[in-house]
Amino acid sequence: MKVMKRIITSTLLLSALALFSACQKSEQQAPAKGESIVFTASFAPETKTVIDETGKKSLWNQDEIRIFNGNHSEAQEYVTTAVEAATANFTIKNPEAKFTGTNFIAVCPNSLATEAWWNGSVDKTINKLYLKPQQTATVGTYDPEGHVAVAYTENHELSFKNACTLLKFTIKSDNIKEVCVYSTGAVLSGNFNFNTEGEGSITTTAIGNNWVKVKGNFVNGQTYYMSCIPGKLANGFTLEVVNDKAAKGKDNVYTKEIELLRNKIYDLGDVKYEERPAEMRTLYLEPGVWKADGAVYQAYLFNGSGDYQWYDFKEFKEGLYKVSFPDQWETIIACRMNPAGPASNWNGKWNQTNNISLASFGDNNCISITDWGGYGQPSPYGLKKVTVE
């Protein structure tokens, strides 16, 4: 399906600007074949705004929209053959259909309104629109199938309003494949309702996501846009970057409250991939009967890929030791070692536990040694939760 190009005409005012909406007057159209109405649609800027450097105006380009006539279940797909046109006539896709009425709501693109509905006898709210949580990276603009525009009319002229917010960012690293924004509690994508009265307002439904992402082959130095559902982010948001090896980079965390308004652009600035510091995990050892002969204690960590590493338990307080390590391992063996060495070597081991799955700890975080076990043999062990001051 071809979709509407949203391009521009002037410069951004700081980081939040009005996008487009529009209205051009024309004579009311007569019903077309099958007694279905022909609509005239425009998407001229409310204010002259640029979202890329082309300087072009918003144009229709063989688009498909969905139009509702106020009867709860009645909607039809409409299409235009216009190419790069500021104003376009839309005719019904099914020429045999009969589609009439006195007031209408239209949604662009059609693909984001296939489950939407409107009860025209109640209000002017279109219900269950859909904003894709995963959008496609498009240089200089946003995914045309990932941004919702709505028009209400009591004649046959459609003047579209943007229903979404745009987040702008500029790529400053190579090999980025995904940029994702997470909120705490606020809905950023999924289903929402749009009230076409006045300037338009948003309500979200129970079916929504607290995240939205853009994926693709990003080009270093280029600017991109992400569409999201407007709303108040009381706890700010987190920006996450993923590279071409599916590795998540260091998060950028914005803790201040921000309200994302409909029809605005918010500039997130430069986005780059920075290696994420490894998350650490800490476990404790209560050596019990092992605490004899000046023994030292080590942890042997390994995973199913054959990787392993030795780590030292350090005395934390009397009778309690702790070890910290990157949270990348699957299994631990706690070892009682000869203080004369060799360190980090099985030849220096006096006693050991059996293999302990790290996933088995749950809320417990201490290995408590309960008996000696046989020389060179795994020792039974107990687990208990330790409260660290």
Could you tell me if 170 and 221 lie in one domain? yes
32: pLDDT strictly greater than 70: no
Could you tell me if 267 and 334 lie in one domain? no
Is the residue at 9 inside a domain? no
Could you tell me if 180 and 69 lie in one domain? yes
Express each pLDDT in 93-109 by its tens digit. Answer: 998 888 888 899 999 99
Could you tell me if 288 and 203 lie in one domain? no
- Tell which of 253, 271, 289 closes a domain: 271
Is the residue at 1 inside a domain? no
Q: Quick one: average pLDDT of 108-121?
A: 92
CB 126 within 8 A of CB 193: yes
Could you tell me if 267 and 305 lie in one domain? no
Question: In whole numbers, what is the pLDDT of the chain averaged over residues?
Answer: 83
CB 74 within 8 A of CB 53: no
d(CA 339, CA 318): 18
Q: For 15-24, 51-60, 73-82, 369-378, which range has the lowest pLDDT when averaged over its residues?
A: 15-24
User: What phi, psi does 142 have (nearest 5°)?
Assistant: -115, 170
Domain assignment of residue 368, given as a range: 280-384
Could you tell me if 183 and 222 lie in one domain? yes
Could you tell me if 223 and 329 lie in one domain? no
CA dihedral for 283, 287, 291, 293, sign (positive or negative)? negative
pLDDT value, residue 383: 76
Confidence of residue 27 (pLDDT cuts 50, 70, 90): very low
d(CA 386, CA 365): 6
Could you tell me if 143 and 238 lie in one domain? yes
Is the residue at 250 inside a domain? yes
Is the residue at 160 inside a domain? yes
Could you tell me if 64 and 144 lie in one domain? yes
- Tell which of 228, 245, 271 closes a domain: 271
Is the residue at 216 inside a domain? yes
CB 78 within 8 A of CB 24: no
Could you tell me if 72 and 163 lie in one domain? yes
pLDDT value, residue 382: 78
Is the residue at 357 inside a domain? yes
Confidence of residue 337 (pLDDT cuts 50, 70, 90): very high
d(CA 126, CA 118): 5
261 is written with which tokens? Answer: 């308004």
267: pLDDT strictly greater than 90: yes
Q: For 21-30, 76-85, 112-121, 125-134, which range has the lowest pLDDT when averaged over its residues?
A: 21-30
Total structural domains in the chain? 2
d(CA 184, CA 114): 29
d(CA 328, CA 253): 23
Could you tell me if 234 and 97 lie in one domain? yes
> Position of tokens 């279109």?
126
Is the residue at 12 inside a domain? no
For a pLDDT cut of 90, what percent of the chain falls above it? 56
pLDDT value, residue 33: 41
pTM, entire model = 0.66
Is the residue at 51 inside a domain? yes
Could you tell me if 230 and 319 lie in one domain? no
